[in-house]
Structure 1
């Protein structure tokens, strides 16, 4: 098809070209102004796997300011060569990229120091001034650190590492942003004493994913959707996160956090707010974030009957040794732990648009499910009237038409598809079957490079765009919604349901969704082992 070919004939760089233009327009003095990007926690896993590779890709693609330097900082006694040795396998360097990679390496340096001593951060500041040759170089600090040192590091950066005017400072903070509402508010108050809200970038990498960003365009640029995006047409919404990653070797960290804090309170709650918010006045960061906060404030307290939590157990019959291990078999996890590895929470939004529509948030992070997936399933209400009852396909066991569903697949293999009913080809009567109108990105946009989430978000920080970052009042509302559930789990008032490695989920969770009116058909019908 010619419409497809136009995307594959040449490599499309429109995303990056737009970013180059934006950076240049935002910084009129870009040719003379210097930038310093600090990786605080440079020896850690996040820096090794995500931050350094992302900075390399952005430099390689020519979208970073020209006068830029990178400084790694951590407590480890390392050299910059050792830092890059640890990161090398994640860099994905091609044969023809070695020359530009060498140039990138020369822009990097490393300094070791503590996370709680003023003199070490004064030393870091001197290093930055020397490397950039400007005391007013713009400075970006990425805190790739454990949360227990956030407060001391953020305080020392503000005191000792600020650029002289007109240079600005931007602080990038990784989740978790607290453990509960109280600790989150305490940390926000700490930051507010040291930084303006414009200087703080709370990063949730899910907001940088292609399909999450596409929700705004899908909703507000297509009349076909804007007219039906409400309680009159939509019966229910599922936001699903499944990850085939075991907690073994990371059990001590996961047991402190759990699946609700790790995924639902941030990733899924952010997606929900974008799906459900009213139309913003513009695409500016504050207008969008205002609407996200408004819809979060409309979420009613969650009833315990609408919460299902589970914890995976080993499949002792399996010949795979890894499959035989349950969550509590991790030596780093307390044997009486009630930390969920599976959670489903059903929330209701008490406003005119969504009253009565269940939003089902389901998440699991373990090797206990049979697939890796993140998707949104918007199920539309039944067609009124029953004109096709006698003509329904024998395969439709419910005896009614399957509901239309709009599915947005976030990962893997980005896609948008609409499940609809059509006449089965070749049949002489009105034999009906369910099919899809399918926009799968790797088929439709062949050859188009999609920046990953960290690439998008780090570039947003350079440009000063706050659209895809979490504001303090958003954070407060998300914790306000989730905090009571966490308290009940800690009091052990919620039953932790065991489920085997490789299971499709928890039967009680499916039943709870059905009770709220969500209908499962065909391949989505629960089948017991």
Structure 2
């Protein structure tokens, strides 16, 4: 992370007692504070609907969250005492937001803050709209300094709800104030896609349909729903990952070079790329649902046996699509995108498979010995990348082996900052590059809402596998699935 300038500010967390805040947000804020990245003058105001919520309870929540995250809280005690404040908004009525406004002004006076305010919606999605309306009607959408609003995913449930939510947000906030957060965009490897592509001409000169045979995007989890069946039953893999995280990765890997390294230019190219994706056909979609199997060496139940799941649920825990991009760079190059729970291992990566040589000299008994080169950009775990090249097996043999030319961020730079640390610093410094624009959100929903509205079959797959066998149909003759052929990952 570069040394970004962070002005004195008040950080307001709605949903301060929630799981997201405790697992991700609070540890990231505390880590930045301990490293003196939040500036000398800042305060944190936790907001909850609990009527008995107060400073002491918030400080106790923060201290436990730091302990659970493995952060030594002994040297954070003074920070907790001085910088943390709490407020209850009760049922969110107008008078509650009037009380919140007075609390904010009081905290700013105590800390001599100039009125720069960051409002972070770390709440369930159904609370976004009333909270945004409360801030707007309570005159908290504008302040003495800058005012910024961070909205977690999911942003909408389909196209219509996303349009309505954007309309509501824009009633009170300018787009320049809005930061729709996607934590995948804060990962170092994702950010490095810009540098990797646009500063290494050796790759950018190969980045088109004449040299690339296919692009595979994988967002795999080995965990199940982990007590979140209530959320997952209403969403599924398409809504939870495909429409946002995975689609963002596609836009970054396939976008045209921006005119400059500025947020507006980068967003414009991402939007242009999303508009170029053709309508997703029914035959280009495979949905799945995990059955019982083995994960991490343990027998695990199927999705239908998870607590809170309807016995006849057709919720997709796996989704794969074949995307077609209708532009000069990518015409005819398939983008195979998949995501799922209870897959073989936790792995997020992009695989760019290059075309084979037009004439091959390396055959034996009619069998092709050489494999096409593949570039693997790995986002998690072990962030880095590798390029597979062919080498001859030593000795009196005609065998060929694929060996990786690899790079690991951890080996080169040590421990990386969390995605939330990176993104929070960007919000505080006013950089919107790694955040999702309203048009990006709506365009992605336009792609996937028709898929969600179709009654597509949901195929079973064993927990601990790479998904349903029907996945194979997304590959045409001569194309390879880099996961199933075990050449990567």
TM-score bracket, normalised by the shorter chain, equals: over 0.9
Q: State the Cα deviation string for residues 142-195 of structure 1 (Å, max 9, x = none).
A: 101011111110111123253875411100000000000010001001111110
Query: How far, CA to CA, are the matches of 1:189 and 1:398 in structure 2?
Result: 59
In the alignment, which residue of structure 1 is the partner of 2:404?
A: 436
For the pair 1:175 / 2:153, whether they are aligned, the reply is: yes
**Alignment CA distance shift 1:163-1:234 (3 Å):** closer
Query: How far, CA to CA, are the matches of 1:483 and 1:123 in structure 2?
Result: 40
The 3-state SS of whatever aligns with 1:63 is: coil
Q: CA RMSD in A?
A: 2.3
Written as runs of structure 1 = structure 2, the 5 A alignment for 1:33-44 is: 34-44=8-18
Written as runs of structure 1 = structure 2, the 5 A alignment for 1:320-359 is: 323-359=299-335
The 3-state SS of whatever aligns with 1:408 is: strand
Written as runs of structure 1 = structure 2, the 5 A alignment for 1:117-516 is: 117-133=93-109, 136-160=114-138, 162=140, 166-315=144-293, 323-365=299-341, 368-390=342-364, 398-424=367-393, 426-428=394-396, 430-445=398-413, 448-488=414-454, 492=455, 494-515=456-477
- Deviation of the 1:525 alpha carbon: 7.6
The 3-state SS of whatever aligns with 2:221 is: strand
- Deviation of the 1:416 alpha carbon: 0.6
Q: Which runs of 5+ in 1 are unaligned?
A: 1-14, 25-29
**Alignment CA distance shift 1:357-1:227 (3 Å):** same
Q: CA contact under 8 A between 1:460 and 1:466: conserved in structure 2?
A: yes
Q: State the Cα deviation string for residues 109-160 of structure 1 (Å, max 9, x = none).
A: 1111225311111111111111111685100011010111111101111232
**Alignment CA distance shift 1:519-1:72 (3 Å):** closer
Query: How far, CA to CA, are the matches of 1:47 and 1:444 in structure 2?
Result: 30
Q: Which runs of 5+ in 2 are unaligned?
A: none
Q: CA contact under 8 A between 2:390 and 2:402: conserved in structure 1?
A: yes
The 3-state SS of whatever aligns with 2:47 is: strand
Q: State the Cα deviation string for residues 233-254 of structure 1 (Å, max 9, x = none).
A: 0000000011122114211110
**Alignment CA distance shift 1:399-1:197 (3 Å):** same
The 3-state SS of whatever aligns with 1:69 is: strand
- Deviation of the 1:75 alpha carbon: 1.1
Q: CA contact under 8 A between 2:5 and 2:429: conserved in structure 1?
A: yes
**Alignment CA distance shift 1:435-1:85 (3 Å):** same
The 3-state SS of whatever aligns with 2:264 is: helix
Q: CA contact under 8 A between 1:211 and 1:414: conserved in structure 2?
A: yes
Query: How far, CA to CA, are the matches of 1:351 and 1:259 in structure 2?
Result: 28
The 3-state SS of whatever aligns with 1:409 is: strand
Query: How far, CA to CA, are the matches of 2:36 and 2:415 in structure 1?
Result: 14
Q: TM-score, normalised by structure 2?
A: 0.93
Paired residues, number: 482
The 3-state SS of whatever aligns with 1:370 is: coil
Q: CA contact under 8 A between 1:402 and 1:521: conserved in structure 2?
A: no
